[in-house]
Amino acid sequence: SKESFINIAAGAHEEV
């Protein structure tokens, strides 16, 4: 759960 959210957040941050 949290790991998934963090993973998505990291990807979004890198994309941005």
Q: What is the pLDDT of residues 3-16, one digit of tens each?
A: 777 777 776 665 55
Which two structure tokens, joined as six digits, stand for 15? 């994309």
Q: Find where tokens 């990807």 sit.
A: 11
User: Identity (one letter) of the amino acid at 11?
Assistant: G
Between these two residues, 1 and 5, which has the higher pLDDT value?
Answer: 5
Looking at residue 4, its pLDDT comes to 76
**How many H-runs (helices) and E-runs (strands) does the chain carry?**
1, 0
* Overall size of the chain counted in residues: 16
Looking at residue 16, its pLDDT comes to 52
- Global pTM value: 0.11
